Amino acid sequence: MPSIIAVEPALSGVREMLQGQGYRVVSSDNLDQNIMAVVVSGMDNNLMNIQNTVLKAPVIDATGKTPDQILARIRQLEQ
C-alpha cells in the first residue's frame, strides 16, 4: 500500500510529482487519515491549525525547495 502524503492544494506540482512516484496524495485539510507527512507552502506553517492538531506526521515546508528536494525528504522519512 502506498504511503499517504497530505499536500496543500496550492502545491499542485508537488501533488502531481508525488502521485507520479506512486504516493497516495490527499488534501492537507484531510488530516484524519494515517498520513506519513504533510507538505505546506510555508506561507502559513500553521495551515488549518496543523500545529494545534495532534499529528504524528512531520510537516515539510516547501518554501524554496524543488519537488525533487521534497521527494528526497519524504524518502528519508520512509527509511
Give pLDDT tens digits for 40-61.
Answer: 887 555 544 555 455 678 889 9
pTM for this one? 0.81
Give pLDDT tens digits for 13-39.
Answer: 999 999 999 999 998 877 766 889 999
Three-class DSSP category at 72 = helix
Q: Give the contacts of 21 (CB within 8 A, at least 6 positions apart).
A: 71
- Measure CA 70 to chain center: 9
Domain ranges of the chain: 4-78
- What grid cell was written down for 64? 524554496
Residue 49: φ, ψ to 5°? 60, 35
User: Angle between the 67-78 and 12-20 helix axes, to the nearest 10 degrees?
Assistant: 50
Q: What's the CA gap between 40 and 28, in Å, rounded?
A: 8
